[in-house]
Amino acid sequence: MNINKQYKEKEVLVFVEGEIDAFTAPKLREELWHLSEKENATVTINLKEVTYLDSTGLGVFVGLFKRLNSNNGELKLIELSNRLYKLFEMTGLINIMDICVNSEDGGR
């Protein structure tokens, strides 16, 4: 799994590539957790190049979402494949998180 970040004023754009599973999720959590510490931060995660996501990976996003919300921040997940979108839909997370299939959707 590869993780690249681009920093703007109060927003961080994160590009994730590869599989997010029980083996790689701790690395993802470690890379993202500090981004949720700032007040009013926006973290946008591009999942276009993610080929697999399991429940451990979902847990990373749920934890990040909760932490950002507690600091008045925002989590956006963009450019999800149809398979990833369906996973978030089946879990009901699509109804509480800002998730879009492509970056032009603007969410949900």
Q: What is the CATH number of the domain that holds 88?
A: 3.30.750.24
Residue 67 placed within a domain: yes
pLDDT at 108: 39
Q: Which helix (H) or strand (E) holds 26?
A: helix 25-33
Residue 85 placed within a domain: yes
pLDDT at 107: 43
pTM of the model: 0.90
pLDDT at 105: 43
pLDDT at 101: 80
Residue 107 placed within a domain: no
Number of structural domains (the chain) is 1
Residue 78 placed within a domain: yes
Residue 51 placed within a domain: yes
What are the residues facing 74 on neighbouring strands?
Answer: 42
Residues of 38-55 as b/e, b for ≥16 C-beta within 10 angstroms? eeebbbbbbbeebeebee
Residue 106 placed within a domain: no
pLDDT at 103: 55
pLDDT at 13: 97
Q: Which pLDDT tens digits describe the chain residue by residue (108 residues)? A: 999 999 988 799 999 999 999 999 999 999 999 999 889 999 999 999 999 999 999 999 999 999 999 999 999 999 999 999 999 999 999 999 999 887 544 443
Q: Which domain holds residue 40?
A: 2-99
